[in-house]
Chain A
Amino acid sequence: MGKYNFSAIRVRQTALQAQIAGKIPYTPVWTDIIRDIPPSQILVRSQPQQHQLVRQRVKTVPGESKPRTVFEVQEKRLKPKKASRMFLPVEIKYEEDQLRKEFFQDHPWELARPRILVEKTGKDFSQYDWSRIQQPGKRLDGESVVQRQLWLLNNVPDITKSAAYDIARQEFYRLRLQEDIERRVAAEEAEATGATFGPSALEWGMKFENEQFEAWKEWAKAEAQGLANRTSANALAAGISELPGTEDNAEAEEDRIAEPA
């Protein structure tokens, strides 16, 4: 049929036909297996799954005592899709995409921190409870802020995006500061009990800089010496210039030429 070769999907029919035609004495062992577990249809073009952005919010209604959970669905675009794009897959969108984008625009260096990407079971999310920002088995990072902000947006009545962002951000900054202090205290404790950490990056930098300064100092000394020698030689040459044809004079001449006066 056309450009397609369907021999792979029609193995059972081919085997049965070959047996009927006497090409093979017996059908292969898998003939009945393929009858019982038939291959699926291929090349089916179905309507792709549509992904709509859904926002969950909690709102207080004037007449009611309890706040109500509201689901807001993103409006459909006014201009309908082209007919040729009917069967194309659709972009997957989540609400946290925007939150993530904003956070990492404000904190670009958070992306430079190491992060564990390997998941063993894929069920890490089941241990997380975003009513607080710290989670068991997860390092505090930008994603924590995003998830915490999303939880606040989904669960706190009448909260705005920026208010949720501020709450999540402040919690994040506090914990980061605490981490810094813990790290410093640990280093101090280790030093007190005998650990040595060696020169720091700044000390290494100063060491290299000092080496360069020393090298320059020697070079400058040599240059200054050379300059002094040359000026004294010139002065000497000027003093005895009345005697032409001497070797000293010739040297002084060379020096004068070498010097860009």
Chain B
Amino acid sequence: MIVRQLYSRQGRQLLSVNRQASILRRFQSTETQTPTTTVETAVKVETEEPVIPVPTESALDNSTSSDSIRLAATEAFSRQRQNVKNFKKLGSVVRNKYWPDALIENPPLPSQITLELLLANQTHLGHSTSRWNPSNSQYIFGIRDGIHIISLELTAAYLRRAAKVVEEVAALGGLILFVGTRQGQKHAVVRAAELTGGYHVFDRWIPGSLTNGNEILGSCDRKVVNAFDEELPEWAERLESRGSLKPDLVVCLNPLESTVLLHECGLNNVPTIGIIDTDADSTKVTYPIPANDDSLRSVSLIAGVLGRAGEAGQRRRFESAKRGVLGYRSVSLGKKDVAERPESEDAA
């Protein structure tokens, strides 16, 4: 049995609480003062002249009592307001909390890539050693707990190079297509395409979209824009004779499942950027980025960095367009001299 009542309790706040004196004090011979509680609640103040209740009238019509109730309510309300005002500054504020969408909504710039950032976003985790593709041995730093660890330095170097390519292609007005068809990659893919001013595929790559584009994408909307991305409706009839558009750069976030897409890009001579995990084939893409393609954080980081690079490229393109410098061949329709930059409404 634990006899605890004989000792004073440990609680610090307990001492300040008004409560019944402990039983030991009752045995003292001298008189002890019992603490009296003073409760400050609004009590109905008795008026000078007593109100004689009239049975025919209801209590609600009694103006004097309703006034005092209203007074008490107003007082209580103002006291509550005062309390809120007094205690609002107290308590703790949670700062620097983890926001899972931060990487997607506000991705880092290519210049902000650090090894710590890559490590925190799990880009170094490869696959089980038994599942490796030996062609990726140059990207592998070592083995840890039965999985291959991808070298963070190489990831950073290859990611910067790919970001530079995206930026330059965007600066020259090329069409950039982001493809990530795995579960959960949709948000990152769409955001990267939004930043780059490019296009996205997140559900399924329809086989033949490049090799048989006229059949598959023939009904999609297209428009001709000028150097400032304003639509030129007078070119609409010229568009009929043109074939379907092909991207100038494809960023593939899951090359393992996008075999058909990468094969079509090879046939159509389209440069590609891809995340190459330790089990992927690095010959499938032009610019490999050795990184973890199974973690959504890793994929979001890489897509975000490339999106930021594309954003910088687009900014450069608009600036040079203001100076009248175009990164691409301009064409004219009759007398008017405009720059042609065909764009499709929807890539897939």
Residues of chain B from 117 to 156 with CB closer than 8 A to chain A in the complex: 117-121, 129, 134-135, 137-138, 140-144, 148-149, 151
CA distance A161 to B294 in the complex (A): 39
Q: When each residue 1-23 of chain A gets 1 if its CB lies under 8 Å from chain B and 0 otherwise, what string results?
A: 00011111101001100100000
A89-B328 in contact given A188-B9, A192-B17 (Cβ < 8 Å): no
Residues of chain A from 68 to 113 with CB closer than 8 A to chain B in the complex: 87-92
A8-B286 in contact given A28-B248, A185-B11, A192-B14 (Cβ < 8 Å): yes
Interface contact B286-A9, CB-CB below 8 Å: yes
Shortest distance between the CB of B338 and any CB in chain A (Å)? 18
Closest to B115 in A: A122
Q: When each residue 113-138 of chain A gets 1 if its CB lies under 8 Å from chain B and 0 otherwise, what string results?
A: 00000111111000000000000000
Closest to A33 in B: B168
* Count, A-B residue pairs, CB within 8 A: 139
Candidates A4, A42, A51, A189; contact of B12 at CB < 8 Å: A189
A43-B172 in contact given A92-B143, A120-B120, A188-B11 (Cβ < 8 Å): no
Interface contact A30-B14, CB-CB below 8 Å: no
Candidates A18, A30, A192; contact of B13 at CB < 8 Å: A192
Interface centre among A30, A43, A91 (most CB of B within 10 A): A30
Interface contact A119-B120, CB-CB below 8 Å: yes
Candidates B13, B96, B138, B284; contact of A8 at CB < 8 Å: B284
Q: Confirm or deny: B272 has a beta carbon within 8 angstroms of a beta carbon on chain A.
A: yes
Majority SS of interface residues in chain B?
A: mixed
Candidates B114, B119, B143, B287; contact of A91 at CB < 8 Å: B143
Binds A, one of B44-52, B67-75, B262-270: B262-270
CA distance A39 to B271 in the complex (A): 10
Using CB atoms and an 8 Å cutoff, list the residues of chain A in contact with chain B: 4-9, 11, 14-15, 18, 26, 28-30, 33-34, 36-37, 39-40, 42-46, 48-49, 51, 87-92, 118-123, 185, 188-189, 192-193
Q: Return the 5 tightest CB-CB contacts between A and B, nearest first.
A: A122-B120, A122-B116, A7-B266, A92-B142, A119-B120
